[in-house]
Chains A and B, each alone.
Chain A
Amino acid sequence: MFAKMAFRNIRSKINDYLIYLFTLTALSAMMLSAFMLPVFPVLSDNDSGAFMSNSLPAIIALTLLFLMLYMNRFMLRRRSQEFAIYMLSGVPQNKISLLYFGEHILLGLLALAVGLSFGLILFCIILTIFSATWTFGDLILAVLQTCVYYIATHVASLVITIFYIKRLNIKNLLGHHKDNEQIKLNKTRLILLSTITMIAFPVLFYQIINFDPFTASTLIITIGIIIYGAYTSILGWLSWYRNKQGNLLYKDMRLFIIGQLMSKIKTVTRMSTVISCCLLCAMCSFIAGWIFTGNAGLLLGGQDDVVMGFAQFYIAVLFTVIVFSVIALQQIVDIREYRQKFTVLRQLGTNTDNLNRILFKQVFLNFTLPVSMAVILMLFCLYPLEQIMSLSLGKEYLVVHGAFIYLGIFAVLYICYMIATYISLIKIIYT
């Protein structure tokens, strides 16, 4: 009976699961491509290449785990009332966990199947472009590795979520969808956190200028502190200002927009941190790609620099596309919430033009906030990076050119995704 129910639930909630499926499909496709990278001799023989092709699946697996956990929380929030009704009808909690597990395993496998097909097509195109030779054994190995990593991550995320479900009671579940998130930071802690974040900027500058491969991990920690600290501080101060009934919020319907943002303050902070980290990786990857292609034949020798460069471009663009897709789909999935709130605003006397303006500001904020720290950090790191790279390569402006070309591609994707999301939301709201 539960298998049938799980299958029916997926069918009836396919729209809610759209973002989930898309993310898993894209990530499994990426993972397969990463496991196929060793077919390029340059990415398996060379030390840094081997490091990249071996560590990339692990990075993707971590991203996958985070996204899956996020998505599971999101779906749980969506379906909390449904689960409360099951519990009220006498369905035991472990059966509900089993139902949830079953549904998500089915979806995960579906996403894996589609993702593997896409991944193969994508990689065949790349292999053809660079005329690389590969064997059937390479392919089977890559598919098996992808399946193992993917299933392990998927099961791990589900087990964590099921532990979370087991802690919930009917009362929690009935009120789960309504509660606004809050961060409990008083003014003193906010000042402390903001100060630490500000101090981390010159520390990062110093670390880049005096870059040492053995202390590279401390650099990553500093970046993490800056991004998480900045988002927590910005949103914390905004929340503090809102509690103070700050004058600026009572103009141009900012109150409504900020209210929407603050209701998911914890999720926004975590999500923005991960998105900014992903984008920063993508930017670095692109700049590395630019350096390799700009020094063709000089770094690894022969065609290898170009192959390595294009592998880096591929990762950069794919990460960026995934980030924007996740932001866009998340808003499309949230449409029901917008619809209900817009009906209230209309009843209170807001005309269509103003509603559209509010919606655009909301979409703009949802796209801009999560990517802003990545862009700020990139621009901040540009000068020290350019300094050390021009010294070691003997060529000037490679980093600057790479960064600005990436920012150009980024800007095009940002504008296209934002406008497409806005138009989709308008269409859904008014039909």
Chain B
Amino acid sequence: MAELLKITALEKYYGNDKGNVTKAIDDISLEIGTKEFVGIMGASGSGKTTLLNMIAAIDSPSAGHIIFDGMDISDMPERELADFRGKHIGFIFQDYNLLDTLTVYENISLPFVMLKKDVTAIRREVVNIAKIFGIDELLEKYPYEISGGQRQRCACARAIIKEPKIVLADEPTGALDSKSARTLMETLQAMNKELSSTILMVTHDAVTASYCERVLFLQDGKIYNQIIKGEKEKREFFNEILDTLSVWGGGLNDVR
């Protein structure tokens, strides 16, 4: 498996003028290969979203390097970072982040519009991807007219349409009921297996994390453990995640 992302000695501090400094990320190093489905777990405030934001080039690191497909994005200028996000990264957020003024069709086509793709290609791709995600009947509707699960599938379609090198998902099942969450995770798994997408997902839900191939555990800004699914059954992997969480003090109180 070729290496897609390499993070070395990454640190992130937040501070104010009064000298109060918080260490959000503390010397993290990790590697993610292409076509991998990796989960990051940890309690609230453990640094999951901060790490994801730095990989997405939304936030800049205080120290360390993020090498993405051979490019060091930790010291890239803003203009290049925007292009980098537009070309290589697909986002899925907990609160969907769809534009309410645009229809489902228009929301999904937005990344292609930004990349100045041909209109015929946009139309073909949007219809194709909508079929894959089972939302082809909803293309004319506005986001507020469809359910949470459908909205999240629309957000997935928007994230994947430009075929990004990596899809970053921040608590994608956070606002969904268990049935919609299961459907979404099966969709993400299919994206990973059938469309060969690399996915990095942040979650504090053990069931959601059990769909990943590898799960990293974060506490106080440090990776304290990682477990790999390998040939294990989903149920077995789920139990292993719960065991890890209870052993490492994150505690079952922090998971759902």
* A247, CB-defined interface residue at 8 Å: yes
Chain A contact patch, size range? 20 to 34
* A346, CB-defined interface residue at 8 Å: yes
Please tell me the number of chain B residues within 8 Å of chain A, measured between CB atoms. Answer: 34
Assess whether A259 is in contact with B101, with CB atoms less than 8 Å apart: yes
| A349-B82, A349-B86, A351-B78 known; A253-B99 Cβ under 8 A | no
| A175-B144, A250-B122, A256-B110 known; A348-B91 Cβ under 8 A | yes
Assess whether B111 is in contact with A250, with CB atoms less than 8 Å apart: no
Assess whether A349 is in contact with B79, with CB atoms less than 8 Å apart: no
* Chain B, interface SS category: helix
Assess whether B99 is in contact with A180, with CB atoms less than 8 Å apart: no
- Bound CA–CA A256/B123 (angstroms): 17
Q: How far is the CB of A123 from chain B (nearest CB, A)?
A: 44
* A93, CB-defined interface residue at 8 Å: no
- Bound CA–CA A353/B109 (angstroms): 21
**Interface centre among B83, B119, B158, by most A CB within 10 Å?**
B119
- Bound CA–CA A256/B79 (angstroms): 21
Assess whether B83 is in contact with A344, with CB atoms less than 8 Å apart: no
| A179-B144, A180-B142, A348-B91 known; A253-B114 Cβ under 8 A | yes
Assess whether A245 is in contact with B78, with CB atoms less than 8 Å apart: no
Assess whether A341 is in contact with B99, with CB atoms less than 8 Å apart: yes
Assess whether A255 is in contact with B83, with CB atoms less than 8 Å apart: no
- Bound CA–CA A131/B111 (angstroms): 66
Q: Which residues of B contact A262 (CB under 8 A)?
A: 101
* Nearest A residue (CB) for B56: A347
Those 4 A-B pairs whose CB atoms lie nearest each other, nearest first: A349-B86, A351-B82, A349-B85, A263-B101
Interface, chain B (partner A; CB < 8 A): 56, 58, 78-79, 81-87, 89, 91, 97-102, 105-106, 109-111, 113-114, 116, 119, 122-123, 140, 142, 144, 158
Interface, chain A (partner B; CB < 8 A): 175, 178-180, 243, 245, 247, 250-251, 253, 255-256, 259-260, 262-263, 341, 343-344, 346-354
What 20 new A-B contacts, CB under 8 Å, besides A346-B58, A349-B86, A354-B82? A175-B144, A180-B142, A245-B105, A251-B113, A255-B106, A255-B109, A255-B113, A256-B101, A259-B102, A343-B97, A344-B97, A348-B110, A348-B111, A349-B85, A349-B89, A350-B114, A351-B78, A351-B83, A352-B82, A353-B79
